[in-house]
């Protein structure tokens, strides 16, 4: 065998099968295999960091882990000062459930935003994600810096899981290190790391890869600990994010690519967890079914997927102009980018087919990328966008594995080693710089929404969120402007109408506010908040009977609306319906004995009916819970002084 033939074999054995190489060289396959048998040592030492001595290997593993951890924290440290943004408010800052561990069972039985009084806002079932927020709250309270710090830890752990898995699969530390380094610094992952609500991706990938690792170990041994850790990891993964359902297909890919026999006692538990989860989502957890905001045809979704593929290719290679909210734009196959996407997907499929027999890294990495895009492709079922950067979190591992493999092959050529090292430094430096810069995008709300609008000017939600921020800081005119833009994009956006009504209230434009709340009710008759606010405005306008009707409707729609009970009691009293007023106040107290306003209202009610002992009794309880009404306090003070065992100072 000539030296050039030997060189060709060693260079291509990681990419082609022995059969394909034999065909290229016009040689017999058995001759190639005999040569490879003789070259086993050389083949193993062809790449850096792959050492036969265990002591050296352990040292290399240690420093590899340190490098991944340090680089991960270095590029994402700038995200720590960021605010709560976008879904962070519903899931964290406004979510009462995460503040008390007694609510733990509710993470498993209710929607993610139920604790923020928005039970149907999200169709996702992610108890593990909510538990991590509760853990964060127990340490950091509502300091967003702590939550960002946790996100970085989870991302670094996911990168270490990538390193561990690639090491197990290919027995090559250099390949594993490069793949995980590209994973930990690439800016496309900022949406999953710098965005607190994005941690579902790092959680699910961490546990999915953990399951993958222990699955391989369970195949190789009968140790119960590997079996148990595999089951635990997949359970946590599937309770972290729904896309973890793809794992059984990835395991089948592993069996094919690495010629591993399937063992039913190892594979079936994973498949069983998968099936049980799907059944639960369709039955007991059916109330979490997604509400499709934008109705699209299958052709539109398919065209969107192919357009997304082109965009994914762009941002993986040149990750510039990254942003949130690509939206559920409507596309068809007349769009030139859709055909470019079809060509790209066909090319990827062709690569997979041509490398299928070789079962090499190119096959495994390419198949990994495409398979992991399927759940978010819109091809199986409609979802809320045609693409999103964080959907690349798991698929990107395949791209980074290909890039690492190419650079390793370049390094294997002695004359090209400086070039390969320079390329690694360039890639890592370039991606790290972009990630550090991208962290600034997630720091503050108004700049975040203003920049997002530049790329997503057809997003009703971005206009809506920006309007909310302007309303919060008292910029009512700007708030109205952006609510109207949101409604122009989506005329049935009842939440935008509702907050527009609140803005008019802030401006004391009662007539306009009433008209706006009526529009909310026309779109969504069961929106209790609109009925409640409308009742308040009617009562303030002297339209007591209309106020009573609105409060009663709010309670009928939401029987737990405590404020509606209290204000209905006030309205009943104003209408001379004293018995009903007294009953409704007591019902409010029975529903929530911690509500100071309920005791205060009942005290005021009794005082107005000259039932002073009852008024004092309920006033004491109200004040103990934090009730304050200086005018009423002045009225009731003389009666407090005359009541036995009552001391004004102790009450106040």
| DSSP secondary structure, 485-534, as one string | HHHHH-TT-HHHHHHHHHHHHHTT-HHHHHHHHHHHHHH-TT-HHHHHHH
Instruction: Output 458 or 273, whichever has higher pLDDT.
Output: 273
Q: Give yes or no: residues 428 and 510 share one domain.
A: no
pLDDT of residue 328: 63
Domain co-membership, 485 together with 616: no
* Cα–Cα dist 650/547, whole Å: 37
Residues 452 and 418 occupy one common structural domain: no
The predicted pLDDT at position 408 comes to 92
What does the block give as tokens for 306?
């192919």
- Domain edge (last residue) among 438, 465, 500: 438
Whether 42 has a pLDDT exceeding 70, the answer reads: no
CATH number at residue 469: 1.25.40.10
For residue 564, the tally of other CB atoms under 10 A from its CB is 27
241 and 195 in a common domain: yes
Q: Are residues 66 and 192 in the same domain?
A: yes
Residues 80/442, Cβ–Cβ less than 8 Å: no
Task: Look at 359 and 234; give whichever has higher pLDDT.
Answer: 234
Among 606, 597, 645, smallest CA distance to 625 is for: 597
Nearest to 113, CA basis, from 124, 101, 104, 102? 124
Cβ contact 417:411 at 8 Å: yes
Please report, for residues 96, 235, 258, the alpha-carbon distance to residue 211 in angstroms, rounded to integers and kept in the order given.
32, 9, 17
Looking at residue 47, its pLDDT comes to 40
- pLDDT (tens digit per residue) in 514-536: 999 999 999 999 999 999 999 99
Which pLDDT tens digit goes with each residue over 164-178? 999 999 989 999 999
- How far is C-alpha 506 from the chain's CA centre? 33
203 and 259 belong to one structural domain: yes
For the chain, first and last CA: distance in Å? 99
Residue 289: band (very low, low, confident or very high) from pLDDT cuts 50, 70, 90: low
- Given a cut of 50, whether residue 49 has pLDDT beyond it is no
**Mean pLDDT to the nearest integer, 493-512:** 96
Q: Is the pLDDT of residue 43 over 60?
A: no
Residue 561, domain member (yes or no): yes
Q: What is the mean pLDDT of residues 15-42?
A: 73
Q: How confident is the model at residue 598 (pLDDT cuts 50, 70, 90)?
A: very high
User: Which contacts of 473-479 are long-range, i.e. CB under 8 A and separated by 24 or more positions?
Assistant: 474/506, 476/503, 476/506, 476/507, 479/503
Long-range CB pairs of 508-515 (<8 Å, 24+ gap) are 510/537, 510/540, 510/541, 513/537, 514/538, 514/541
- Decide: 503 and 510 in contact? Cβ < 8 Å: no
Classify residue 141: in a domain, yes or no: yes
| CA dist., res. 423 & res. 515, Å (int) | 63
Residue length of the chain: 652
> How far is it, in rounded angstroms, from Cα 19 to Cα 354?
13
- pLDDT for 5: 78
Contacts of 70 (CB under 8 A, 6+ apart): none
Question: Is residue 230 domain-resident?
Answer: yes
382 and 493 together in one domain: no
Residues 126 and 159 grouped into a single domain:
yes
**18 and 30 housed in the same domain:** yes
Q: Where are the alpha helices (DSSP H) in 318-443?
A: 336-354, 361-373, 396-412, 417-439
The pLDDT value given to residue 357: 87
Torsion of CA 262, 264, 265, 266, to 10 degrees: 40
On whether residue 63 sits in a domain, the answer given is yes
pLDDT tens digits, 402-430: 999 999 999 888 788 899 999 999 999 99
Q: Which of 438, 462, 480 is the last residue of a domain?
A: 438
Instruction: Give residue 646's pLDDT.
Output: 44
Judge if 163 and 299 occupy the same domain.
Answer: yes
**114 and 252 together in one domain:** yes
Dmax over CA atoms of the chain, in Å, equals: 113
Mean pLDDT score, 546-565: 94
pLDDT reading at 649 higher than 50: no
Position 443 in a domain = no
Q: What is the pTM of this model?
A: 0.85
**Residue % of the chain over a pLDDT of 70:** 93
Per-residue model confidence (pLDDT) at position 647 = 41
Instruction: Indicate the pLDDT class of residue 55, thresholds 50, 70 and 90.
Output: low
Distance of CA 634 to the CA centre of its chain: 52
Residue-wise pLDDT for 236-283, tens only, equals: 999 999 999 999 999 999 999 999 999 999 999 999 999 999 999 888
User: What per-residue confidence (pLDDT) applies to 154?
Assistant: 98
What average pLDDT does the chain have?
90
Work out the burial of residue 477: count CB atoms within 10 Å of its CB; fewer than 13 is exposed, 13-18 middle, 19 or more buried.
Answer: exposed
Asked if residues 76 and 193 have their Cβ atoms less than 8 Å apart, the reply is yes
pLDDT over threshold 70, residue 182: yes
In the block, which residue shows the tokens 């979802």? 383
* Residue 375 is assigned to a structural domain of this protein: yes
Instruction: For residue 49, tell me if it sits in a domain.
Output: no
605-624: pLDDT as tens digits: 999 999 999 999 999 999 99
Of 564, 595, 626, the one marking the end of a domain is 595
Q: Does 291 score more than 60 pLDDT?
A: no
pLDDT given at position 254: 97
Give residue 57's pLDDT.
74
Q: Could you give the number of structural domains in the chain?
A: 4
Residue ranges making up the domain that contains 496: 448-595
pLDDT band at 70 (very low <50, low <70, confident <90, very high): very high
- Domain co-membership, 115 together with 77: yes
Q: Taking the CA of residue 228 as centre, how many other CA atoms within 13 Å lie in the half-sphere pointing to its CB?
A: 3
């Amino acid at each position: 065998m000539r030296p050039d033939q030997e060189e060709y074999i060693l260079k291509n054995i990681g990419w082609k099968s022995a059969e394909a190489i034999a065909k290229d060289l016009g040689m017999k396959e058995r001759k190639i295999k005999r040569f490879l048998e003789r070259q086993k040592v050389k083949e193993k030492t062809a790449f850096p960091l792959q050492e036969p001595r265990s002591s050296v290997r352990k040292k290399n593993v240690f420093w590899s882990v340190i490098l991944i951890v340090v680089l991960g924290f270095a590029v994402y440290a700038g995200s720590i000062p960021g605010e709560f943004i976008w879904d962070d408010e519903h899931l964290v800052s406004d979510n009462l459930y995460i503040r008390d561990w007694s609510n733990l069972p509710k993470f498993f039985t209710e929607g993610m935003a139920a604790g923020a009084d928005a039970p149907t806002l999200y169709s996702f079932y992610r108890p593990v994600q909510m538990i991590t927020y509760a853990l964060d709250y127990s340490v950091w309270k509502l300091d967003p810096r702590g939550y960002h710090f946790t996100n970085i830890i989870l991302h670094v752990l996911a990168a270490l899981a990538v390193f561990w898995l690639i090491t197990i699969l290919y027995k090559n530390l250099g390949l594993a290190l490069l793949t995980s380094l590209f994973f930990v610094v690439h800016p496309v992952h900022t949406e999953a790391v710098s965005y607190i609500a994005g941690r579902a991706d790092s959680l699910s990938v961490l546990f999915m890869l953990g399951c993958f690792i222990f699955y391989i170990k369970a195949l190789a041994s009968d140790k119960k600990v590997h079996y148990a850790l595999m089951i635990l990891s997949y359970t946590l993964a599937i309770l972290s994010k729904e896309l973890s359902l793809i794992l059984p297909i990835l395991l089948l890919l592993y069996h094919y690519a690495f010629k591993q026999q399937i063992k039913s006692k190892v594979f079936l538990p994973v498949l069983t967890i998968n099936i049980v989860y799907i059944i639960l989502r369709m039955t007991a957890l059916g109330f979490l079914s997604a509400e499709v905001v934008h109705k699209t045809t299958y052709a539109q979704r398919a065209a969107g997927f192919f357009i997304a593929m082109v965009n994914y290719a762009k941002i993986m290679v040149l990750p510039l102009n990254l942003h949130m909210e690509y939206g559920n734009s409507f596309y068809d196959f007349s769009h030139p980018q859709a055909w470019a996407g079809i060509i790209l997907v066909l090319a990827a499929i062709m690569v997979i087919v041509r490398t299928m027999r070789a079962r090499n890294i190119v096959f495994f990495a390419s198949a990994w990328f495409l398979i992991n895009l399927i759940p978010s492709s819109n091809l199986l079922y409609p979802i809320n966008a045609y693409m999103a950067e964080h959907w690349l979190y798991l698929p990107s591992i395949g791209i980074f594995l290909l890039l690492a493999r190419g650079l390793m092959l370049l390094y294997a050529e002695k004359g090209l080693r400086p070039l390969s090292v320079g390329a690694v430094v360039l890639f890592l430096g370039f991606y790290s710089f972009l990630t550090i810069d991208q962290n600034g995008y997630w720091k503050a709300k108004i700049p975040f929404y203003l920049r997002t609008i530049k790329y997503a000017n057809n997003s009703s939600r971005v206009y809506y969120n920006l309007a909310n921020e302007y309303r919060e800081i008292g910029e009512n005119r700007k708030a109205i402007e952006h609510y109207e833009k949101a409604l122009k994009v989506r005329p049935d956006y009842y939440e935008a109408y509702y907050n527009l009504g609140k803005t008019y209230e802030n401006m004391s434009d009662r007539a306009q506010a009433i008209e706006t709340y009526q529009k909310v009710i026309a779109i969504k008759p069961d929106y209790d908040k609109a009925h409640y606010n409308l009742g308040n405005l009617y009562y303030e306008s002297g339209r007591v009977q209309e106020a009573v009707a609105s409060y009663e409707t709010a309670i009928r729609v939401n029987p737990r609306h405590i404020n509606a009970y209290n204000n209905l009691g006030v309205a009943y009293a104003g209408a001379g319906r004293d018995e009903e007023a007294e009953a409704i106040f007591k019902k409010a107290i029975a529903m929530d004995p911690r509500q100071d306003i309920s005791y205060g209202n009942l005290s005021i009610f009794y005082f107005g009916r000259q039932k002073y002992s009852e008024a004092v009794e309920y006033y004491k309880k109200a004040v103990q819970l934090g009730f304050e009404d200086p005018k009423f306090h002045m009225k009731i003070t003389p009666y407090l002084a005359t009541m036995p065992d009552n001391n004004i100072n102790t009450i106040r």
